[in-house]
């Protein structure tokens, strides 16, 4: 869920009026229409975006814009944000004793393809760019898939120590640990040679061969395909090692601050297009190694493009829901969107150090219904029909009462050659018991909308 922009990988603020219109439009007929068709343009945050063949944001997804759960008083995500921010404020101070890091937690989640991907050297054919993985407003704009999308604009603006916190959007399956909107915190720290080698003034950030008198330090490097985990060709080994040491020290410090000094952790080598070398930090929790954050030494091409030529940097990104689920013992990711006072009243930012354990309000029963249909002739799963499209349609119609959807059966008819799919949809309301009649009605709306949207034939 959290760090899927690595490889390999298998798989607004709305204008006020618009917001109210979308929220009010829960009538099933209207939901169906909105999930399958798009208006010619979308008005989001007072900006107008023409739609095109890439548009796949749904009203349901857009309704999350501006909710800012990470800034809501006493919300568990806001408490985690403050813990991270306070840790960084304490970890780095300037000579006057003021925090070095600045925090950006209200940046608009609508970003360009350039911000989310190109600026970060994410290859043009990278899986994370696919329409089936992101929410596109149109071919040029999308809802950010990671808070790393803001790196280059902030560095270009002259910042060298900053945190970005906000919600991110990724198309995904639906279950108790996956939700298409979740929150991340990202950080960047840049240092110059004088700072990094304060105690060893003879050392250099860049290899002589690369930065020597004949070389132009501003020349943009051709992106190296070779992903050497040791270092980038331009950096000296001593610069990378010192930076790695500082970064790991700070991130282990953060992990211990959150999970306690005795937490078991390990570093795992990984790959991100925007850092080299790259790591993930895993913690040992309930008999499992869980990945909590991704980090690495920033690719120098990114700094160069942002106009920074004499620094080396590290960056990291962490998902807030996963931290909060562990720290508060919250069992279901959908609870973070709950407005139930029984949930919200359990948390308070009065005492950021002692985090209470979540006490389940109660368990309402699940209700499971199957939906089987024939795909149109010559259409197959991932060839003309994407399961994520179906999940989104179901979510648009049923909202959060859909707890889980799984593909339980798939076969090809020997004569007609048509593919049949059977999805199991598990319904459960977080705050009350759903009646079977109520579920049947929602289920029927999903079936009808699927016929309309995907031209399928219900079995």
For ligand PHE, the closer of residues 186 and 301 by Cβ is: 186
Query: Distance between CA 207 and CA 233 in Å, rounded?
Result: 8
- Considering only CA atoms, give the Rg of the chain: 24
Query: Residue 56 Cβ, how far from ligand PHE at the closest point, in Å?
Result: 20
Helices 387-398 and 28-36 sit at what angle, rounded to 10 degrees? 150
In angstroms, what is the minimal distance from the CB of 329 to ligand PHE? 24
Residues near ligand PHE, by CB under 6 A:
3-5, 146, 148, 186, 272, 275, 294-296, 315-317
Distance between CA 336 and CA 332 in Å, rounded?
8
Nearest to 281 by CA among 271, 297, 298, 294: 294
Would you say 141 or 170 has its CB closer to ligand PHE? 170
Q: Which is nearer to ligand PHE, 121 or 387 (CB)?
A: 121
Which H helix or E strand runs over 393? helix 387-398
Q: What is the DSSP string of 259-288?
A: H-TT--EEEEEEEETTEEEEEEEEEEETTE
What is the smallest separation between the CB atom of 4 and ligand PHE, expressed in angstroms?
Answer: 6
What lies within 8 Å, CB to CB, of 47 at 6+ separation is: 110
Alpha carbon distance, N-terminus to C-terminus of the chain:
33
User: For residue 163, what are the CA distances in angstroms to 44, 132, 186, 317, 319?
Assistant: 25, 29, 6, 9, 13
Min CB(168)–ligand PHE separation in Å: 7
Strand order in the sheet with 419-427: 402-412, 419-427, 367-374, 457-458
101: helix, coil or strand? coil
What are phi and psi for residue 368, nearest 5 degrees?
-115, 130
Select the residue whose beta carbon is closest to ligand PHE and give its number: 317
Nearer to ligand PHE, 197 or 316 (CB): 316
Q: How far is the CB of 232 from ligand PHE (least distance, A)?
A: 14
How far apart, in whole angstroms, are the C-alpha atoms of residue 98 and residue 235?
30
Closer CB to ligand PHE, 66 or 294, in the complex: 294
Nearer to ligand PHE, 180 or 296 (CB): 296
State the minimum distance, in angstroms, from the CB of residue 162 to ligand PHE.
12
Residue 281: other Cβ atoms inside 10 A: 21
Euclidean distance between CA atoms 232 and 96, whole angstroms: 35
Residue closer to ligand PHE (CB basis): 189 or 428: 189
Residue 295 or 371: the one with the smaller Cβ distance to ligand PHE is 295
* Alpha carbon distance 393, 378 (integer Å): 22
Decide whether 138 or 275 has the Cβ nearer to ligand PHE. Answer: 275
In the complex, what is the shortest distance from the CB of residue 223 to ligand PHE, in angstroms, rounded to a whole number? 17
**Which residue, among 412, 348, 427, has the nearest Cα to 381 in the 3D structure?**
412
Minimum distance of ligand PHE from residue 64's CB (angstroms):
18
Shortest CB 169 distance to ligand PHE, Å: 12
């Amino acid at each position: 869920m959290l760090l899927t922009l690595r490889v390999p990988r298998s798989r607004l603020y709305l204008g006020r009026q618009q917001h109210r219109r979308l929220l009010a439009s829960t009538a099933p007929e209207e939901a169906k229409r909105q999930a399958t068709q798009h208006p010619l343009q979308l008005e989001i945050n007072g900006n107008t975006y023409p739609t095109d063949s890439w548009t796949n944001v749904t009203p349901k997804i857009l309704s999350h814009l501006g909710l800012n759960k990470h800034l809501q008083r006493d919300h568990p995500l806001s408490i985690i944000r403050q813990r991270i921010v306070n840790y960084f404020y304490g970890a780095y101070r300037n000579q006057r004793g003021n925090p070095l890091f600045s925090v950006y937690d209200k940046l608009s989640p609508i970003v360009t393809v350039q911000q989310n991907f190109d600026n970060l050297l994410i290859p043009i054919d990278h899986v994370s760019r696919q329409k089936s993985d992101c929410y596109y407003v149109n071919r040029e704009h999308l809802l950010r898939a990671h808070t790393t999308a803001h790196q280059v604009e902030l560095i270009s603006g002259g910042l060298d120590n900053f945190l970005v916190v906000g919600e991110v959007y990724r198309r995904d399956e639906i279950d108790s640990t996956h939700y298409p909107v979740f929150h991340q915190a990202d950080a960047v720290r840049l240092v110059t040679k004088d700072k990094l080698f304060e105690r060893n003034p003879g050392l250099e950030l860049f290899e002589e061969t690369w930065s020597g008198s004949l070389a132009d330090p501003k020349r943009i490097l051709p992106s190296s395909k070779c992903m050497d985990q040791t270092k980038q060709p331009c950096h000296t080994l001593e610069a990378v090692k010192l930076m790695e040491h500082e970064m790991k020290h700070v991130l282990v410090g953060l992990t211990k601050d959150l999970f306690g000094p005795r937490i078991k952790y390990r570093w795992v080598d990984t790959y991100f297009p925007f850092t080299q070398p790259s790591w993930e930090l895993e913690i040992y929790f309930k008999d499992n190694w869980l990945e909590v954050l991704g980090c690495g030494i920033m690719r120098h091409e990114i700094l160069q493009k942002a106009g920074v030529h004499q620094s080396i940097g590290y960056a990291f990104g962490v998902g807030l829901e996963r931290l909060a689920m562990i720290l508060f013992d919250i069992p279901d990711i959908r609870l973070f969107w709950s407005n139930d006072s029984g949930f919200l009243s359990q948390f308070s930012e009065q005492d950021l150090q002692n985090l209470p354990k979540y006490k389940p309000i109660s368990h309402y029963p699940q209700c499971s219904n199957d939906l089987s249909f024939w795909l149109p002739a010559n259409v197959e799963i991932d060839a003309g029909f994407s399961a994520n499209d179906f999940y989104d349609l179901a979510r648009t119609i049923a909202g959060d009462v859909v707890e889980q959807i799984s593909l339980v059966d798939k076969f090809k008819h020997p004569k007609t050659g048509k593919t049949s799919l059977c999805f199991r949809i598990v319904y459960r309301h977080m705050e009350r018991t759903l009646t079977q009649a109520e579920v049947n009605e929602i289920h029927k709306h999903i079936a009808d909308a699927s016929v309309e949207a995907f031209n399928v034939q219900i079995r």
